[in-house]
Amino acid sequence: MQLPREFFSPTIMGLVQKVLTALALWCLITNTREIAACITEERDALVAFNTSLNDPDGRLSSWRGDNCCNWSGVRCSKKTGHVVQLDLGEYTLQGEINPSLAGLTNLVYLNLSQNDFGGVSIPEFIGSFTMLRYLDLSGAHFAGPVPPQLGNLSRLQYLDLSGSHMVTVDNFHWVSKLTSLRYLDLSWLYLAASLDWLQAVNMLPLLQVLLLNDASLPATNLNCFPQVNFTTLKILDLKSNTNLNSSFPSWIWNLSSLSELDLSSCGLSGEIPDELGKLTSLKSLALADNKLKGGIPRSASRLCKLVNLHLSRNLLSGDITKTAKSLLHCMKGLQILDLADNKLKGNLSGWLEQIVSLRVLDLSKNSLSGAVPASIGNISNLTYLDISFNSFKGTISELHFLNLSRLDTLVLSSNSLKIMMNHRWVPPFQLREVGMHSCLVGPQFPTWMQSQTRIEKIDVGSTGISGVLPDWIWNFSSSLTSLNVSRNNITGKLPASLEQLKMLTTLSMRYNQLEGSIPDLPTGIQLLDLSHNYLSGSLPQNVGGRELYYLLLSHNFLSGVIPTNLCKTVSMEVIDLSNNNLSGELPNCWKKNSNLYTIDFSSNNFWGEIPSTIGSLSSLVTLHISKNNLSGTLPTSLQSCNRLMLLDLGENNLCGNIPKWIGDGLHTLIFLSLRSNQFSGEIPEELSQLHALQILDFGNNKLSGPVTHFLGNLTALHLGSPVWDGSPFVEFMVYGVGGAYFSVYTDTLEAAFKYYDIFSIDLSTNQFTGDIPSEIGSLSALINLNLSRNYIKGSIPEELGRITELESLDLSWNNLSGSIPQGLALLTTLGELNLSYNDLSGKIPSGFQLDTFGGDSYLGNVNLCGAPLSRICLPNGSKHRHRKLHQHFDMVTYLCMLLGFASGFSIVLVILISSAAARKAYFEFTDNILNKLHTEADLKLHFNRALAGRNLSMPTESQNSLTCYHFEGPPSPS
């Protein structure tokens, strides 16, 4: 959930603390009757400091004249004239800090925050300002280690160094010396080596505010102290330190003054302790993004001062109805209730309307059910409402929003809700975001949205809307940033004025019935998804905008070539132009797209060679260029794409040998398809290094040689589970692309990984020889094995019976001999079996799945017998007797045939001798037969010459043959 900035109370409290401290110091500085002028040496120090700076906004333009006490950001003691305060926070200064500043030895207050000092180290001389009580260097673009000299500032009460992971702290010992410290903010620093951070903080007895969020804190036993010294702590923020991976520290429950506690994303596990109820001063509690389970403890009902409650993205369970009634007995001032993404059940009736103070309600991604009560409309302070991804049912009407005049964000998506508003209804609110994805809204586009002049995000995908979109939807040019109307029945054309939506960054209209061409696009568009429509024409010339991240135009009727400026878009991450009528050569200018994850140009009419510059795409994870007319060899530059997980170049006219560098350089491949090309030669043994490979498809090529033994080394086919689960791209694939309420799951990614749990080898329709290697039997996770239509000989290895997950086995159209191994009967998952057209013999084994296959699985094996074939297997003792009987039968048959032929020939000969007419008719008939046979022989000869070198001795799949012909006589099947 993305909350408005003002709801983050730790920030507010921090600012309040700063202001109070500054006021106290100001009173200290100005509480004197004597007036003194600026000291010359200190003025000179400030002038030298100024000369080292760049002041683009002229904020230091007042630094002139002799009295530096009147300069902007400078305050002096009216008693001594010394500079005691230098407040240059947010002055947008640039440059370096001149060492002359060390001359301001009486400084009490120093603020250089939110400037740009170019990555220099924090000056050590700051540690010499022993009078300093306030130091703020946050967000000032420092880098390097924090100087331990800061530990000399024993009077320091306020220290803020936050804002840059480039600043590091390897040892916290210097912090332990700041015993006067009340406020410490080291957020966003890099503290991974600070193993002593908790021990050092424990030496600060006056500490009231501790902010260490997003600081890469190391794994820490937070329970190393049963008691702590900082018992007056009011604010504790350790969020987004996932390495802590701890349980709740017991000392927290003794911090009776604690008003704000944020342990979100700290790797916490287990249940929320019942001791939580001891923190009766709590106003804000955030435990989101952990692994907490169980329910919200009953003791939480004692947190009467609670204003903000964030428990989202955990494993919390239980009935929200009972829990809420218990909590709300005391929490009369609750303003934020965030329980999103848990396992809560129950409904909203009988409790929700009681929280009249509520401003933010997020219950999304739970298992809540029932109707949404109309009384929700009485929570007049509500600004943010998200109940998406639950099981709510019923109707939403105007009554639900009767008094919600402050509503800013409304998300009802993925529920079984019917949105029924009167078409004349004018809402009392002005929404910024609305999400109704997968609710029933249509058939008309909701007319009440026309009144929402501040609208930024609209998601009405899968809502049953049909017809042409109203013109006014394109008039939100000053505010609209995201529009999702995907998976509806929207017709018509895209407006020519689309380019004028200057604020539009995300547009998804996939799975509709749009026609016509794509107009010029807004310059700021980041995600464009128009896939699965009826769009035609060429790609717009400005399709390669500098802000474009995701371009998804698959499954349309687009034609023409790819504009060269598309591959010059530096920000591009996903391009999917598959299943169109695009043609021409692929542009060869892919050199600056370092962020590109996915390219899918499959199922078009592209020709020419694969561009060599694709090898420059260092982040490329999936490359689909299948089903085109590409030719030539694979460019060696592809070996530089060492993050490739999926390479699909099938159904083209590529040729040459399979490169060795595929195995040497592309170690992350899980899917490799070169099928239906013109590749020849043997499979290189280097492919044995592809330990992540799950799908190997070289079918329908001209590969030869033995089926290599290295197939047994493919690790992923042993493990039976994907070895790439940790890839950051997989997270991208699973969670999709887009904003908080706008999610796009691309066809490219779905197609690429929908078989992520499939393990397959397909070497069919090639010219492989030799035996089936027994090592294949070690691939216990293999689901599909296809070696059909080759010249493989020998017997079927008994080891194939060890492939326990095998579902499909095709060894047809080879020269296999011997019996079918009994081990195949042990394959309980086998659903498809084809052993036809070999030279197998003996009885067909029975058992488990083998008993379910028909005779088609064994056709063309004349020496097989037994069920399901009708050929009966004879007992071993009767074979010799059967052979003698068969030989006797053959002799009798031959004698009868000879006598029949002799008798028939004698009759014909007598007729020809005795009749002239009969002789004439006979010779005319034989002449006609000979002429037809001669013509047929000539045609056959020409046909065979035209197909010389082709393998026509058995049925095969068609081979593409536009380039790189490699005519060789096929080896004769033995």
List beta partners, residue 794: 816
Give bridge partners of residue 528 from the DSSP assignment. 507, 551
Query: Which residues pair with residue 491 across a beta bridge?
Result: 468
Residue 135 pLDDT > 80: yes
Q: Is 759 within a domain? A: no
* Mode of pairing for the β-strands spanning 605-608 and 581-585: parallel
Which residues is 682 bridged to in the sheet?
none
Secondary structure of residue 463 in the 3-state scheme: coil
Instruction: Determine the average pLDDT of the residues in 558-577.
Output: 90
| Count of CA atoms in the C-beta half-sphere (13 A) of 407 | 24
pLDDT per position as a tens digit, 301-358:
999 999 999 999 999 999 999 989 888 888 889 999 999 999 999 999 989 988 999 9
In the DSSP assignment, the letter for residue 196 is T
User: What's residue 939's pLDDT?
Assistant: 38
Q: Same domain for 178 and 96?
A: yes
Per-residue pLDDT for 736 more than 50?
no
Same domain, 94 and 46: yes
Q: Is the pLDDT of residue 966 over 80?
A: no
Contact 105, 79 (CB under 8 A): no
| CA atoms in the 13 A half-sphere facing the CB of 903 | 6
- Distance between CA atoms of residues 137 and 619, nearest Å: 36
Instruction: Tell me the angle at which helices 916-946 and 879-914 cross, rounded to the nearest 10 degrees.
Output: 130
Within 10 angstroms of residue 880's Cβ, the number of other Cβ atoms is: 9
**CA distance linking residue 699 with residue 701, whole number of Å:** 6
Confidence of residue 722 (pLDDT cuts 50, 70, 90): low
Q: 443: Cβ–Cβ under 8 A, 6 or more apart, which residues? A: 464, 465, 466, 467
> What is the rounded average pLDDT for all residues in the chain?
86
| pLDDT exceeds 80 at position 40 | yes
For residue 705, is it left (φ>0), alpha (ψ between -120 and 50) or beta?
A: left
CA 306 → CA 165, 277, 317, 329, distances in Å? Answer: 32, 11, 21, 12
The C-alpha angle 726, 730, 732, rounded to 5 degrees, equals 125
Beta pairing partners, 435? 411, 459
> In sequence order, what are the beta bridge partners of 839?
817
What's the rounded Cα separation, in Å, for the pair 456 and 15? 30
Q: What angle do CA 25, 27, 30 make, to 5 degrees?
A: 105
Q: DSSP letter for 374, please.
A: G
- Other beta carbons within 10 angstroms of residue 882's beta carbon come to 12
Phi, psi of 26, rounded to the nearest 5 degrees: -60, -40
Any residues with CB less than 8 A from the CB of 860 and at least 6 apart, and which?
836, 837, 838
Q: Is the pLDDT of residue 549 over 80?
A: yes
> Which tokens in the block code for residue 700?
């329908």
The rounded distance, in Å, linking the Cα atoms of 191 and 436 is 43
Residue 713: how many CB atoms within 10 A of its CB?
A: 18
**Better-scored residue on pLDDT, 98 or 929:** 98
297 CB neighbour count, 10 Å cutoff: 17
Biggest alpha carbon distance in the chain?
A: 159
Does 586 map to a domain? no
Four-point Cα dihedral 210, 212, 217, 223, nearest 10: 30
Amino acid at 753: F
**868 preceded by cis ω (within 30°)?**
yes
Other CB atoms within 10 A of residue 892 CB: 9
User: Any bridge partners for residue 261, and if so which?
Assistant: 236, 285
Cβ neighbors of 134 (< 8 A, separation 6 or more) are 21, 22, 25, 108, 109, 110, 111, 156, 157, 158
Domain co-membership, 891 together with 837: no
Task: Find out whether 313 and 288 touch, Cβ atoms under 8 Å.
Answer: yes
**Res 668 pLDDT > 70:** yes
Indicate the pairing of strand 557-560 with strand 158-160: unpaired
462-505 pLDDT tens trace:
999 999 999 999 988 788 999 999 999 999 999 999 999 999 99
Residues near 710 by beta carbon (within 8 Å), at least 6 away in sequence: 685, 687, 688, 775
801-835 pLDDT, tens digit per residue, is 999 999 999 999 999 999 999 999 989 999 999 99
- What pLDDT score was predicted for residue 821? 95
Q: Which of 914, 935, 967 is the last residue of a domain?
A: 914
For residue 920, the number of C-alpha atoms closer than 13 Å in the C-beta half-sphere is: 3
Looking at the fold, whether 851 and 888 belong to one and the same domain comes out as no
Count of domains observed in the chain: 4
Helix, strand, coil percent content, the chain, rounded in steps of 5:
25, 20, 55
Residue 387 placed within a domain: yes
pLDDT range class, residue 141, cuts 50, 70, 90: very high
Residues 6+ apart with CB under 8 A from 884: none
pLDDT band at 729; cut points 50, 70, 90: very low
Helices (H) and strands (E) in the chain, counts: 10, 58
**pLDDT surpassing 80 at residue 728:** no
Question: What pLDDT does residue 545 have?
Answer: 74
Determine the pLDDT at residue 941: 39
Q: Which of 914, 939, 969 is the last residue of a domain?
A: 914
Residues 18 and 51 in one domain: yes
Residue 15, pLDDT above cutoff 50: no
Determine contact, residues 300/280, Cβ cutoff 8 Å.
no
Residues 86, 39 share a domain: yes
**Domain end marker among 890, 914, 938:** 914
Quick check: 823 and 800 in contact, CB under 8 A? yes
In 416-549, alpha helices (H): none
Is residue 846 a contact partner of residue 867, using CB atoms and an 8 Å limit?
yes
In a domain, 355, yes or no: yes
Evaluate whether 789 touches 724 at the Cβ level (below 8 Å): no
Amino acid at 72: S
CB 588 within 8 A of CB 562: no
DSSP category for residue 161: -
Q: Is the pLDDT higher at 956 or at 533? A: 533
Q: Do 29 and 97 lie in a common domain? A: yes
791: left (phi over 0), alpha (psi -120 to 50) or beta: alpha
pLDDT at 880 over 90: no
DSSP line for 708-774: -GGGGG-THHHH-S-S-TT-HHHHHHHH-BSSTT--B--HHHHHHHTTTT--EEE--SSEEESPPPG
Residue 904's pLDDT band (boundaries 50, 70, 90)? low
Q: Is the Cα dihedral 459, 464, 467, 470 positive or negative?
A: negative
Asked if the structure places residue 497 within a domain, the reply is no
Q: What is the pLDDT of residues 176-231, one digit of tens each?
A: 999 999 999 999 999 999 999 999 999 999 999 999 999 999 998 888 777 789 99
642 occurs within a structural domain:
no
111: in domain: yes
Cβ atoms of 406 and 428 closer than 8 Å: no
For 278, the token pair is 């001891």
Percent over 90 (pLDDT), the chain? 71
Nearest to 374 by CA among 346, 395, 405: 395
Taking the alpha carbons at both ends of the chain, their separation in whole angstroms is 69
Q: Are residues 851 and 908 in the same domain?
A: no
Tell me: do 839 and 905 sit in the same domain.
no
Rg (CA), the chain: 40
Residue 9 has pLDDT above 90, yes or no: no
Same domain flag for 897 and 855 = no
* Statement to judge: residues 176 and 137 lie in one domain: yes
- The tally of CA atoms less than 13 A away on the side-chain side of residue 450 is 13
Claim to verify: residue 806 and residue 890 sit in the same structural domain: no
Counting beta carbons within 10 angstroms of the beta carbon of residue 692, is it exposed (0 to 12), middle (13 to 18) or buried (19 or more)? buried
The full length of the chain comes to 974
| Full residue range of the structural domain in which residue 848 is found | 775-783+794-873
Q: How high is the pLDDT of residue 901?
A: 55
Give the pLDDT band (50/70/90) at residue 911: low
CA neighbor of 176 nearest in space, from 195, 202, 210: 202
- Name the residue with tokens 């409790």: 351
33: Cβ contacts below 8 Å, ≥ 6 apart: none
Q: Note the pLDDT of residue 950.
A: 34
In a domain, 885, yes or no: yes
Whole-number pLDDT of residue 594: 82
Instruction: Examine the pLDDT at 367 and tell me if it is beyond 70.
Output: yes
SS3 517: coil
